[in-house]
Structure 1
Amino acid sequence: MTPAFYRPLRLSAAPLFLSIILSFGSPDHAQAQISPFTQALAAAAGQDDTISAFYRARDYRTLWTGAADAERRNALLSALLTAGDHGLPVRRYDPAELMAALQAAVTEGDRGRLEVAMTRAFLDYARDIQTGILVPAKVDAGIVREVPLRDPLANLAAFESGSPTAFLKNLPPKDPEYARLVKEKITLERLIATGGWGPSVPAEKLAPGASGAAVVALRDRLMAMGYLRRTATGSYDAAMENAVQEFQRHHGLEADGVAGISTIEEINVGPDVRLRSILVALERERWMNIPRGQRHIWVNLTDFSAKIVDDGKTTFATRSVIGKDVPDQRSPEFSDVMDYMVINPSWNVPRSITTKEYLPLMQRNPGAAGHLQLIDSRGRVVPRGAVNFNAYSARTFPFSMRQPPSDGNALGLVKFMFPNQWNIYLHDTPSKSLFDREVRAFSHGCIRLADPFDFAYALLAKQTDDPEGLFQGHLKTGRETVVNLEQPVPVHLVYFTAYSSAKGQMNYRRDVYGRDQRIYEALEQAGVASAPVQG
């Protein structure tokens, strides 16, 4: 592989190099005044505007290859040697290649090119470990997260002015979850290298009281995963039932202690597949390398849950329903700020639902969806009998639709607003039975909450001594009422199929929308190393 610093000079770099020559007079005079090191550095730096600006501003002084640069040089190489632990594409800033180039550098030209190569490696590494390798929306249009990119020149300045080792150590996300994911990655890689969790369980269903070879395989698998203490039992006893329940809780399954089809499928997932979830989770953490808020709302789509987190601890949690797994209804991923709640809300039917779902019904039967009002462009209610629905197409239909406040309102009795361009919010629902499902992807994209009143009380407790009384007082009027949050709360809609519990135990969830698979494939294409397949 050709070292990065031996790449030929691009034509776009010529104007920069020419300007250096002109500043010293004629080309012949310039050759006498400019060292071979500066010539080589300027030519190589000309391929990158940021690097060019950096070295111009410092009159082409060294950052890495001078006699006084050893501390910075060694700190960078040491950090690059651990890049693989973070699930980064090591060959992008190959430390072995840089060290070989350091040893092989003979001429001043070699040193100039090496200077730029090390700066490029630093910038690539800093960006990747701070804010991720990929551009989220390019991988999946449903990931509309704003990645908090850092200024590369500011990174270089901060690195040079402080402790090199401390600066590099502080680049990764500070959230403790990131460190736990790195630890789990290393653990899984070691496990894979020694054979994984052993043979898979050859059964579709096993229940307490069962015995035989499949139960022994289940026993061995649970022991290898750390859910069951060492035992020689050949029967599905109480200890195994408890171990299965614990496994189920950590994998988003109904914790009934029976190893049914879903549980067996998850138990048979190999550590190589779990490692892929960890690699994706690390990348997602880097995309979210931002302050999340001392108090914030955390909606993990894959876990079908919504939580209020205070000072790093979950203080309230409830089940949720998310968008259906169809192209225009999957819940997006983004962060915003919740400003207010609406008690006794009206449901303003989204245009897509009005034209795709309700208009065809009303064309067949004008009285269909009678619980919804037709609203004209001036906000007036229009009688159904005054409209010829068949005269309109989805494009030309001039009315909107609204459902007034009621117990049967599609939004239930409260909605929680963080205004955004996707019209996504959290809300109540009259369809309570869906919360008993294991997989809860049924909405048009918004997030339904199983315990919306308690969620409201928890939010309002920060601004009143009687949150339930305040909420219920507004609710009993039957009128649509806006209640502002005196302290707006950050909201994060996330999609983690791998995450740790408060005690550090890893949890895994299914890839509901297939987003993790697309991210993993993109990471592989970017050069992130994958592990060998295990059973």
Structure 2
Amino acid sequence: MSSPHRHKAGFGLALCLAAFLGTGALANPSAPALTPFTRSVAEAAGRSDVISAFYAGRSYRPLWTGPEDAERRQAFLTAIAQASAHGLPVQRYDAAELAARFRAARTEADRGRVEVAMTRALLAWAHDLRGGALEPGKVDPGIKREVQRLDPRSVLTAFEADPRPFLNGLAPRTPEYARLMRARMELEARIAAGGWGPQVPAGKLRPGATGEGVLALRNRLMAMGYLGRSTVAGYDASIEAAVRAFQIDHGLTPDGVVGEGTLAALNVSPETRLESVLVALERERWLASDRGERHIWVNLTDFSARIVEGGKVTFETRSVIGKDSPDQRSPEFSDEMEYMVINPSWHVPRSITTKEYLPLLQRNPNAAAHLKLIDSRGQVVNRGSVNFNAYNARNFPYSMRQPPSDGNALGLVKFMFPNPWNIYLHDTPSKSLFDREVRAFSHGCIRLAQPFDFAYALLARQSDDPEGLFQSHLRTGKETVVRLEEPVPVHLVYSTAWAGPTGRMSYRQDIYGRDGVILEALRAAGVVPGAVQG
């Protein structure tokens, strides 16, 4: 019995040949003949409509394997030889393998197969280097990011027209991508040289301490670049300063004391840090290069929100993010902030209403008295008239709303960038949570430690007195919408590894486990962290 795949391939070949013949090959004596090369190209390209149409449209003239194609071919092989440097799966576009196949080609049919193999590799390379080797939403459902992919037809056209500029323009052009590439190289060199040395032994270390633990700490700080060459035997001011710098770079309280959290971060291996950098490179490829001259950058793992203008941070505040539970983790996506609501009402999400408040109301109809019960017409319902025990999470017909107040769950202002996940930035009456190192406590939205100052910074471009404008609305106590004259791009990101302007790396915990999932997906795709690939 014949294979259905064989039938499919044969059908694709027939279509390719039909396209070729449709160009007038039979009617026009000057048209190229149906040679072993053209037949081989048509057969090899048969399962790709894009590649088939490309070669049919050029009457099967080679892109790679003709005498005049040497410079183009070499430019591409040189580019993809750097796949491991980008943390990409080498086997998808193996430069050494393609070069070997080209050298080994003996027949026109061999040449046709190599021709299509290189075209497939080009499309894969452009796809992966411009937008990432993985599809974010398939790796983790909390990653809602829409990746900007290049059109394959445009890739082939642009590459043929000007190969080197096209190849040089594929990787993200952001300073962060270049810094991550440099960090990857430095980490691999450090690993090859033996790493950061022995781990620091368990136990709290503080200024004034001596002993083997301090010596191990000193040596590790030197290897990591936080301390210059030193022979000190005690925990002196230089070591304390180095520990504080390390703590700042790792999102820890900079108290200069090596406690449990600092010790754990110090003892993370360079191999593990390299994995974080490779994941960061993939994430950087997912992000649009144009993030907006003025934009809001919310790094979930750093528990921070920043306003960035012209590449510089002009405002920064601490944040609280979603809890580490499947239905409350803050998603990753980009959107545009359009307006803020001063003195907002809190419209309780359906999931919170039915999962958290309905059981309370079934036990005590007067529970959560700060919330109003609302019917389908938007009218407030008297709780005494409702038998809450007659309902469950599926058929509960009411919603709940908290009117504006100092105790409102959203505080006194929320910042809106309408999205399908109902995520926004907002104030909160629970200020004590901002003193924690790890701040994952919300139902998914982002709480800000300094929401008023954040509002003033946003309004500064449309008002000479942004604070006065904001406060005048706040004093009314009424729910008020203030639109931003220029919508501001918002990026909710999950960066556990990034480099500052000086190139020194910062690392954060993988609080939701997303980096671990991405790393496994990269491994499955063929990425081998720290290995010489190809």
Normalised by the shorter chain, which TM-score bucket? over 0.9
> 1:148·1:290 contact (CA, 8 Å) conserved in 2?
no
Three-state SS of the structure 2 residue aligned to 1:476 is: helix
Three-state SS of the structure 1 residue aligned to 2:498 is: strand
The corresponding residue for 1:97 is: 97
The corresponding residue for 2:74 is: 74
Residue 383 of structure 1: CA displacement? 1.2
5 Å matches for 1:294-305? Answer: 294-305=293-304
The corresponding residue for 1:400 is: 399
Residue 509 of structure 1: CA displacement? 0.3
CA distance in 1, matches of 2:159, 2:301: 38
CA distance in 2, matches of 1:139, 1:131: 14
> 1:9·1:44 contact (CA, 8 Å) conserved in 2?
no
State yes or no: 1:255 paired with 2:254: yes
Q: Which amino acid aligns with 2:350?
A: R
CA distance in 2, matches of 1:8, 1:93: 27
Three-state SS of the structure 1 residue aligned to 2:421 is: coil
Residue 12 of structure 1: CA displacement? 4.4
Residue 33 of structure 1: CA displacement? 3.5
CA distance in 2, matches of 1:8, 1:80: 34
Residue 56 of structure 1: CA displacement? 1.1
Give aligned pairs, total.
522
> 1:130·1:289 contact (CA, 8 Å) conserved in 2?
no
CA distance in 2, matches of 1:158, 1:33: 27
The corresponding residue for 1:157 is: 157
Three-state SS of the structure 1 residue aligned to 2:295 is: strand
State yes or no: 1:318 paired with 2:309: no
Q: Given the superposition, is the C-alpha separation of residues 378 and 330 from structure 1 closer, same or farther in structure 2, using an over 3 Å criterion?
A: same
Residue 11 of structure 1: CA displacement? 3.7
Q: Deviations over 1:386-409 (max 9, x none)?
A: 111111111111110000000000
CA distance in 2, matches of 1:304, 1:11: 56
Three-state SS of the structure 1 residue aligned to 2:419 is: coil
Q: Given the superposition, is the C-alpha separation of residues 398 and 8 from structure 1 closer, same or farther in structure 2, using an over 3 Å criterion?
A: closer
> 1:9·1:43 contact (CA, 8 Å) conserved in 2?
no
CA distance in 2, matches of 1:262, 1:468: 39
CA distance in 2, matches of 1:141, 1:364: 35
The corresponding residue for 2:498 is: 499
Q: Given the superposition, is the C-alpha separation of residues 21 and 251 from structure 1 closer, same or farther in structure 2, using an over 3 Å criterion?
A: closer
> 1:300·1:493 contact (CA, 8 Å) conserved in 2?
yes
Residue 10 of structure 1: CA displacement? 2.8
> 1:298·1:492 contact (CA, 8 Å) conserved in 2?
yes
CA distance in 1, matches of 2:430, 2:175: 37
Q: Which amino acid aligns with 1:189?
A: E
Q: Given the superposition, is the C-alpha separation of residues 396 and 191 from structure 1 closer, same or farther in structure 2, using an over 3 Å criterion?
A: same
CA distance in 2, matches of 1:166, 1:395: 57
The corresponding residue for 1:265 is: 264
CA distance in 1, matches of 2:181, 2:167: 16
Three-state SS of the structure 1 residue aligned to 2:339 is: strand
Q: Which amino acid aligns with 2:486?
A: Q
Q: Which amino acid aligns with 1:437?
A: R
State yes or no: 1:345 paired with 2:338: no
5 Å matches for 1:174-253? Answer: 174-253=173-252
Residue 454 of structure 1: CA displacement? 0.3
C-alpha RMSD of the superposition: 1.7
Q: Which amino acid aligns with 2:398?
A: F
CA distance in 2, matches of 1:250, 1:57: 54
Residue 204 of structure 1: CA displacement? 2.9
Residue 15 of structure 1: CA displacement? 2.7
> 2:87·2:529 contact (CA, 8 Å) conserved in 1?
no
Q: Which amino acid aligns with 1:300?
A: N
Residue 289 of structure 1: CA displacement? 3.2
Runs of 4+ displaced beyond 4 Å: 20-26
CA distance in 2, matches of 1:18, 1:464: 66
Residue 47 of structure 1: CA displacement? 2.1
5 Å matches for 1:274-293? Answer: 274-293=273-292
> 1:301·1:322 contact (CA, 8 Å) conserved in 2?
yes
The corresponding residue for 2:521 is: 522
Residue 319 of structure 1: CA displacement? 0.3
CA distance in 1, matches of 2:165, 2:197: 41
CA distance in 2, matches of 1:147, 1:496: 17
Q: Given the superposition, is the C-alpha separation of residues 396 and 91 from structure 1 closer, same or farther in structure 2, using an over 3 Å criterion?
A: same
Q: Which amino acid aligns with 1:393?
A: N
Q: Which amino acid aligns with 2:247?
A: Q
Three-state SS of the structure 1 residue aligned to 2:344 is: coil
CA distance in 1, matches of 2:20, 2:229: 75
CA distance in 2, matches of 1:17, 1:501: 52
Three-state SS of the structure 2 residue aligned to 1:415 is: strand
Deviates more, 1:66-75 or 1:455-464: 66-75
> 2:19·2:56 contact (CA, 8 Å) conserved in 1?
no
CA distance in 1, matches of 2:101, 2:233: 59
Q: Given the superposition, is the C-alpha separation of residues 8 and 526 from structure 1 closer, same or farther in structure 2, using an over 3 Å criterion?
A: farther
Residue 271 of structure 1: CA displacement? 0.4
State yes or no: 1:376 paired with 2:371: no
Structure 1 residue runs of 5 or longer lacking an equivalent are 1-6
CA distance in 1, matches of 2:516, 2:104: 41
Q: Given the superposition, is the C-alpha separation of residues 153 and 18 from structure 1 closer, same or farther in structure 2, using an over 3 Å criterion?
A: closer
CA distance in 1, matches of 2:423, 2:438: 20
Q: Which amino acid aligns with 2:41?
A: L
The corresponding residue for 1:4 is: none
CA distance in 1, matches of 2:330, 2:262: 26
The corresponding residue for 1:123 is: 123
Q: Which amino acid aligns with 1:87?
A: G
Q: Which amino acid aligns with 2:90?
A: V
Question: TM-score of the superposition, structure 2-length normalised?
Answer: 0.95
Q: Which amino acid aligns with 1:372?
A: L
State yes or no: 1:138 paired with 2:138: yes
The corresponding residue for 1:385 is: 384
The corresponding residue for 2:54 is: 54
Residue 25 of structure 1: CA displacement? 9.0
Three-state SS of the structure 1 residue aligned to 2:301 is: helix
Residue 362 of structure 1: CA displacement? 0.7
The corresponding residue for 1:440 is: 439
5 Å matches for 1:340-489? Answer: 340-489=339-488
> 1:375·1:381 contact (CA, 8 Å) conserved in 2?
yes
CA distance in 1, matches of 2:492, 2:19: 50
Structure 2 residue runs of 5 or longer lacking an equivalent are 1-5
Residue 22 of structure 1: CA displacement? 6.1
Residue 9 of structure 1: CA displacement? 8.8
Q: Deviations over 1:408-456 (max 9, x none)?
A: 0000000000000000000000000000000000000000000000000
> 1:12·1:47 contact (CA, 8 Å) conserved in 2?
no
CA distance in 1, matches of 2:110, 2:254: 63
Question: TM-score of the superposition, structure 1-length normalised?
Answer: 0.95
Deviates more, 1:196-205 or 1:292-301: 196-205
> 1:306·1:319 contact (CA, 8 Å) conserved in 2?
yes
> 2:222·2:229 contact (CA, 8 Å) conserved in 1?
yes
Q: Deviations over 1:467-514 (max 9, x none)?
A: 000000000000000000000000000001001123322100000000
Deviates more, 1:315-324 or 1:104-113: 104-113
CA distance in 1, matches of 2:142, 2:10: 39
